Chains A and B, each alone.
Chain A
Amino acid sequence: DTEVTQTPKHLVMGMTNKKSLKCEQHMGHRAMYWYKQKAKKPPELMFVYSYEKLSINESVPSRFSPECPNSSLLNLHLHALQPEDSALYLCASSQVSGGAGEQFFGPGTRLTVL
């Protein structure tokens, strides 16, 4: 299985809602990533998990809260988001964090904040 899956595909939420994005991989990868991608821009790194521990937080606002319950799962909890947070949220994984290995990306969750 060489796939990274993400749910939901689309999400619309109000600024007072709490929602979660889910990412799953079964490739035995020990590094997982969250990216945010605005229209016509490259992905921007948000968080890196290495062996289920948060290793990088790229100064992301606290209204985004990542969680890595186990080596296959990665969640992104959303609370009190702003309209400018509307974007495509991509999850990725790699064998380990660091080194020359490529990252495998999921299809993304299209988030709209009203």
Chain B
Amino acid sequence: AQSVTQLDSHVSVSEGTPVLLRCNYSSSYSPSLFWYVQHPNKGLQLLLKYTSAATLVKGINGFEAEFKKSETSFHLTKPSAHMSDAAEYFCVVTAGGSQGNLIFGKGTKLSVKP
């Protein structure tokens, strides 16, 4: 069965410093992995996706993630945090099978201090 674990429920950084949001996954086959962002009272926006092409995936707003099969990780990074990055971030894996359901991590709340 597929699952994701987001290792931190809350991450706080200062504006201009690097961001690291950690995600480990478990999958019985080659997974598709996503990071979504949700700003307060908004829907989810896709930041980036991994679908077995390049292991380093670049997304929107300067975010990127690296798929590491040996570590079963898909951590999200950004070199320099901006105040507008403050939001909830979800690491997501496809459930497999014919339905394409998504399995969500519990989320990491990113706070950015001025």
Residues of A within 8 A of B (CB): 4, 6, 31, 40-43, 45, 48, 50, 55-56, 88, 90, 92, 94, 96-108, 110
Q: Which of B36, B43, B46, B97 has the most CB of A within 10 A?
A: B43
- With A42-B105, A102-B34 already in contact, the answer to whether A107 and B100 are too (CB < 8 A) is no
Interface class of chain B by DSSP: loop
A residues in contact with B46, CB < 8 Å: 102, 104
Decide: A45 and B43 in contact? CB cutoff 8 A: no
Q: Which of B44, B45, B46, B51 has the most CB of A within 10 A?
A: B44
Extra contacts besides A105-B44, A108-B42 (16): CB < 8 Å: A4-B43, A41-B107, A43-B44, A48-B99, A50-B99, A56-B101, A92-B44, A97-B98, A99-B94, A99-B100, A101-B100, A105-B36, A105-B43, A105-B45, A108-B41, A108-B43
